[in-house]
Amino acid sequence: MSTPTIDHVINGRRRSTGGAPIDVTDPATGAVIGVISAAGQAELDETVELARAAFEVWSRTSLTKRAAVLFKFRELVAARRAEIEQAISAEHGKTLPDAGGEITRGLEIVEFACGLPHLLQGTYSDQVSTDVDTYAYREPLGVCAGITPFNFPAMVPLWMAPIAIAAGNSFILKPSERDPSASLVLAELWTAAGLPDGVFSVLQGGADLVNAILAHPGIEAVSFVGSTPIAQHVYEVGSAHGKRVQALGGAKNHAIVMPDADITETADQLVAAGYGSAGQRCMAISAVVAVGGEEETGPLVKAIAERGRRIVVGPHTSADSEMGPVISPQSRERIISIVDEAEAEGARVVLDGRGLRVAGYEEGYFVGPTLIDGVERTSRAYAEEIFGPVLVVLHAKDLDEAIAIVNEGPWGNGAAIFTSSGAAARRFQREVQTGMVGINVPIPVPAGSFSFGGRKASLFGDTHVYGREGLLFYTRAKVVTSRWPDSALRPAASMAFPSEAKH
Ligand code: NAD
433 near 456, Cβ under 8 Å?
A: yes
Same-domain check for residues 396 and 473: no
Measured in whole angstroms, how far is the alpha carbon of residue 433 from the centre of its chain?
19
Nearest CA residue ID for atom 22, ligand 1: 207
pLDDT over 90 (residue 497): no
Same-domain check for residues 239 and 97: yes
Please list every protein residue whose CB sits less than 6 Å from any atom of ligand 1. 147-152, 156, 174, 176-177, 206-207, 210-211, 225-227, 230, 233, 248-251, 282, 385, 387, 413, 454, 458
The atom of ligand 1 lying closest to the CA of 250 is 34
Sheet of 414-418, strands arranged across:
348-351, 370-373, 390-396, 285-291, 253-257, 414-418, 436-439
Instruction: Supply the pLDDT for residue 35.
Output: 97
Instruction: Supply the pLDDT for residue 128.
Output: 96
Please indicate whether residue 114 is annotated as part of the active site.
Answer: no
Rounded Cα gap, residues 127 and 476, in angstroms: 24
Ligand 1 pocket test target in 105, 152, 159, 227 with most atoms within 8 Å of CB: 227
Instruction: Supply the pLDDT for residue 430.
Output: 98
Could you tell me the residue range of the domain that residue 42 belongs to? 5-249+458-479
Ligand 1 pocket test target in 23, 94, 150 with most atoms within 8 Å of CB: 150
Instruction: Supply the pLDDT for residue 18.
Output: 85
The total domain count for the chain is: 2
Instruction: Supply the pLDDT for residue 502.
Output: 64
76, 96, 154, 282: the catalytic one is 282
For 198-211, what is each residue's pLDDT tens digit? Answer: 999 999 999 999 99
Same-domain check for residues 140 and 190: yes
Same-domain check for residues 229 and 323: no
Hey, is 146 helix, strand or coil? Answer: strand
Over range 349-365, report the average pLDDT: 98
For 41-81, what is each residue's pLDDT tens digit? Answer: 999 999 999 999 999 999 999 999 999 999 999 999 999 99
For 314-337, what is each residue's pLDDT tens digit? Answer: 999 999 999 999 999 999 999 999
Among candidates 453, 451, 398, which has minimal Cα distance to 427? 398
For 132-152, what is each residue's pLDDT tens digit? Answer: 999 999 999 999 999 999 999
Same-domain check for residues 314 and 381: yes
Rounded Cα gap, residues 324 and 270, in angstroms: 17
Instruction: Supply the pLDDT for residue 494.
Output: 79
The atom of ligand 1 lying closest to the CA of 458 is 41
Does a structural domain hold residue 265? Answer: yes
CATH number of the domain within which 318 lies: 3.40.309.10
The atom of ligand 1 lying closest to the CA of 228 is 32
Does a structural domain hold residue 453? Answer: no
Reported as a pLDDT band with limits 50, 70 and 90, residue 9 is very high
Does a structural domain hold residue 210? Answer: yes
Instruction: Supply the pLDDT for residue 102.
Output: 97
For 147-158, give the DSSP string: E--SS-TTHHHH
| Average confidence score pLDDT of the chain | 97
Instruction: Supply the pLDDT for residue 488.
Output: 74
Instruction: Supply the pLDDT for residue 277.
Output: 98
Reported as a pLDDT band with limits 50, 70 and 90, residue 1 is low
The atom of ligand 1 lying closest to the CA of 227 is 32
Over range 288-297, report the average pLDDT: 96
482 Cα to the center of ligand 1, angstroms: 46
Percent of the chain having pLDDT more than 70?
99
For 236-288, what is each residue's pLDDT tens digit? Answer: 999 999 999 999 999 999 999 999 999 999 999 999 999 999 999 999 999 99
